[in-house]
Structure 1
Amino acid sequence: MASYAPSKLILVFFLVSYSSTSSLALNKTTNIGVIIDEGSRAGKEQKTAIEIAVQKLNSGSKNHKLAIQFKNSKGDPLEAASSASDLIDKENVQVIVGTDTWEETTVVAKIGQRAKIPVISLTAHTFQSQSRLQWPFLVQMTNVDMHDEIKCIASIVQSYNWKRTIVVYEDNMFGDGYIGVSLLSEALQQIGSLIEQTVAVPHFTSSFDPTETIRENLANVVTTKQSRVFIVLKSSLQDASRVFEEANKLGLMGRDSVWILGDSFSSFLDSLDPSVFQHIQGALGVKTYYYDNSTQFLDFKSNFKTSFRSKYPEEDKSEPGIYAIRAYNSIETISLALDRLGNLKYTDGKKLLDTILSTNFSSLTGRIDFQGENQSEVFQLVNIIGKS
């Protein structure tokens, strides 16, 4: 019997070794870099939603774990670029999520492309096919297309038979605001309306004083133009808020004026500071529609409100807005892509990128399908009354 003892010992050793190796494979951890402006309402929502997503997905996955490395961009594109480099070089992240502005997104996308790291943007850009060609490693969590938004706005103008409009847009370095004005002009001409004047607002990071420019342009409208139908087509939250503040001072937000707000502003109404609402009473908003009555969303909403109140008691609102939804969906997208990859090792991120882009699933608020570029977006019309 003594002659069998070594064999038994060897057998036991191999079983333990195999079990340890399997455990390591099953518990693979993927580092995810997140770049947000932690001082902004958007950043607070994103961070809360991402933490909820990671906690839920990690507890339910046996194949992999997600480790989140947060970086604070402070809303500065240069800071965002530095954060992206640190995440790749020092934290060894395999994918980057975040950025609140298109300016931040573009610089981070360039860095991600050089490192062959997928970058998932939570910011909407109006011409997605163009951005994908320019930044092939960039993935956008929104499918908003300006052509659909233009059709919706033109339909509103037509239904009220307004013949003249004033268009307000942000003059940024990408020129998408100007392109949007051209598209809107064509759509309005088809229904017998026209753009009487455009008001180009300097980007809030411009060296020019945006407030003074806005005031002068709106004062010119008061004295020289007939139309009192204003369309805020493409603008950052900062510049749009300044526009409304100056319009109020000039008496352009009363009963004699109409304001139609594009998706770039309306989709973030849930996240606006309550003080902003006093300047936009009665405005109409064209907002991306999403289904918010599913059991999955209601569970997320309940968890979000509890966590958000605990982390940020100074905030008046605890409802999750579009920022939070996109952030949660981005983490779920990554997790599902990693599930599909299994234990395969990818060396340059290209396989992860391709897997993310081919992933489609039922998210918090509807179907996520990165290949469904030809699907029309659904919008809802909202009216701003009181604090909501």
Structure 2
Amino acid sequence: MNSDRSLLLLFSAFDSIILLLINCFPGASADNNNNGINIDVGAIIDFNSQVGKQQKEAMEIAAQSFNNYSNSLNISLHFRDSRRSPLQAASAAEQLINETKAKAIIGMETWKEAAFVAELGDKAQVPVISFSSPSISSPPSSIPFRWPFLIQMAKNQTANINCIADIVHAYGWQNVIAIYEDDSYSTDSSGMLALLSEALLKTNSQIERRLVLPPFSSLSDSKGFVLDELIELLLSAKSRVFIVLKASLPMVIHLFREQCS
């Protein structure tokens, strides 16, 4: 997600927050309230990821823009680090709800983080606005019933998988190699592989080989490991078409650097 896209999503998110909170502050207007009403909003992001840094920047710009425009409401952002951990995200959400008295919570880079935070949001009746894609194992129709206070800003991965299959079909590739980085906090990797396999079969293509890589942060010699895995693939597979389904930015950089070298 680039900064421009993050900013657009966040403007939509703030619009949703205002609509949800307007009934709680019926007197909040430029005519009746010259001092303005402060609204505390929690933001749970990964401080160390590039996406998290972009989201933080976009949130701050969006909040400043809204505050400059509004004479009656003022958005105060409270950032917490998820460390890309569902448990850490849940702990941060609990603190934001109970201590900071956040009226809404935004962020969550992974679906599992969003699900954990949504559970707490439902109990406290605090809207949770997530930018992560819903889990493939969670039917879209069931999500509003399970988490009524959850607002999704991203669609299911099915459309993305079908798009990949269409590209493969357009180029006439019969075989592809699927690569993804294993993530202990993600349950969607196997589901994405199954969806891709099914979508490719409809176009008379198939996944020839699958390469599951360990988390990049767990590798002591990341460059050597990635190179060895790619060499083994190139020696044993006929296909030269690689589809990276899911990987961190450092892993993607290493993959493309070794493939191009």
Same fold per superposition (TM over 0.5): yes
Question: Of 161, 171, 174, which residue of structure 2 is paired with 1:163?
Answer: 174
The answer to whether residue 51 in structure 2 is matched with residue 70 in structure 1 is no
Measured after TM superposition, the shift of residue 221 of structure 1 is: 1.4
Aligned to 2:108: 99
Measured after TM superposition, the shift of residue 104 of structure 1 is: 3.1
Aligned to 1:361: none
The answer to whether residue 196 in structure 2 is matched with residue 196 in structure 1 is no
- CA spacing shift, 1:201–1:112, aligned 2, 3 Å: farther
Per-residue CA deviations over 1:14-68 (Å, capped at 9, x if unaligned) read xxxxxxxx74598222211112233433233222222222222123224422222
- Rounded to whole Å, the distance in 2 between the matches of 1:92 and 1:162 is 54
Equivalent residues, number = 226
Aligned to 1:150: 161
Contact 1:36–1:72 under 8 Å retained in 2: yes
SS in structure 1 at match of 2:126: coil
Contact 2:36–2:74 under 8 Å retained in 1: yes
- Rounded to whole Å, the distance in 1 between the matches of 2:221 and 2:215 is 7
The answer to whether residue 245 in structure 2 is matched with residue 233 in structure 1 is yes
Contact 1:123–1:141 under 8 Å retained in 2: yes
Question: Of 41, 47, 50, which residue of structure 2 is paired with 1:32?
Answer: 41
TM-score (normalizing by structure 1): 0.51
Contact 1:201–1:213 under 8 Å retained in 2: no
- Rounded to whole Å, the distance in 2 between the matches of 1:55 and 1:124 is 27
The one-letter amino acid of 2:194's match is S
RMSD between aligned residues: 3.1
Stretches of structure 2 lacking an aligned partner (at least 5 in a row): 1-30
Aligned to 2:260: 253
- Runs ≥4 residues deviating over 6 A: 207-210
The answer to whether residue 188 in structure 2 is matched with residue 179 in structure 1 is no
TM-score (normalizing by structure 2): 0.72
Contact 1:109–1:135 under 8 Å retained in 2: yes
The one-letter amino acid of 1:147's match is T
Measured after TM superposition, the shift of residue 111 of structure 1 is: 2.5
Per-residue CA deviations over 1:287-325 (Å, capped at 9, x if unaligned) read xxxxxxxxxxxxxxxxxxxxxxxxxxxxxxxxxxxxxxx
The answer to whether residue 122 in structure 2 is matched with residue 113 in structure 1 is yes
Contact 1:171–1:178 under 8 Å retained in 2: no
Contact 1:201–1:210 under 8 Å retained in 2: no
Aligned to 1:288: none
Aligned to 1:61: 70
- Rounded to whole Å, the distance in 2 between the matches of 1:214 and 1:136 is 43
Stretches of structure 1 lacking an aligned partner (at least 5 in a row): 1-21, 255-388
Question: Of 207, 215, 233, which residue of structure 2 is paired with 1:221?
Answer: 233
Per-residue CA deviations over 1:333-362 (Å, capped at 9, x if unaligned) read xxxxxxxxxxxxxxxxxxxxxxxxxxxxxx
Per-residue CA deviations over 1:52-91 (Å, capped at 9, x if unaligned) read 2222212322442222222233444443332212111111
Larger Rg, first or second structure (1 or 2): 1
SS in structure 2 at match of 1:105: helix
SS in structure 2 at match of 1:123: coil
Measured after TM superposition, the shift of residue 114 of structure 1 is: 2.7
- Rounded to whole Å, the distance in 1 between the matches of 2:180 and 2:126 is 33
- CA spacing shift, 1:237–1:63, aligned 2, 3 Å: same
Contact 2:34–2:71 under 8 Å retained in 1: no
Aligned to 1:353: none
Contact 1:196–1:227 under 8 Å retained in 2: yes
- CA spacing shift, 1:41–1:236, aligned 2, 3 Å: closer
Measured after TM superposition, the shift of residue 157 of structure 1 is: 1.5
- Rounded to whole Å, the distance in 2 between the matches of 1:101 and 1:139 is 14
Per-residue CA deviations over 1:109-150 (Å, capped at 9, x if unaligned) read 23223322111112233547165555433222223x322222
Measured after TM superposition, the shift of residue 94 of structure 1 is: 1.0
Instruction: Considering Cα pairs closer than 8 Å and 6+ residues apart, tell me whether 1 or 2 has the greater RCO.
Output: 1
SS in structure 1 at match of 2:178: strand
- CA spacing shift, 1:238–1:138, aligned 2, 3 Å: farther
- Rounded to whole Å, the distance in 1 between the matches of 2:90 and 2:170 is 45
Aligned to 2:150: 138
- CA spacing shift, 1:187–1:78, aligned 2, 3 Å: closer
Contact 2:177–2:239 under 8 Å retained in 1: yes
